[in-house]
Amino acid sequence: QVQLVESGGGLVKPGGSLRLSCAASGFTFSDYYMSWIRQAPGKGLEWVSYISTSGNTIYYADSVKGRFTISRDNAKNSLFLQMNSLRAEDTAVYYCARDRARASDCWGQGTLVTVSS
């Protein structure tokens, strides 16, 4: 079955870095756009970034542009999010999601990132 498993979350100090990973299985990873979406504690959903099948097309939310980098390794069925210059407002559960028909049809369970001194 289709499965997405995020990892790499944790506690980091303001200004620090973290790299999230998302392991995909149960489908042909290289055929799908992929997204990162986050949710701050008690808040709504916020789209972060998406990447095309080949990685040639990438977009970011303004709130993370210049600090976060999305990438993928189709040979390893993996999606990544490199997060630099982290701020308290980046504290959230980060979900990876598969895109189909330009909607996110499958989501991981999420990984919590806490930015605090």
Q: Could you say whether residue 66 binds another protein (CB under 8 A)?
A: no
Q: How far is the CB of 113 from another protein (least distance, A)?
A: 16
Q: Could you say whether residue 5 binds another protein (CB under 8 A)?
A: no
DSSP E strand boundaries for 1-117? 3-7, 10-12, 18-25, 34-39, 45-51, 58-60, 68-73, 78-83, 92-100, 103-107, 111-115
Structure tokens that stand for 71 in this block? 């990438």
Q: Could you say whether residue 75 binds another protein (CB under 8 A)?
A: no
Residues 43-62 that bind another protein (CB under 8 A): 44-47, 50, 59, 61-62
Residue numbers of the site for another protein (CB under 8 A)?
A: 35, 44-47, 50, 59, 61-62, 95, 100-110
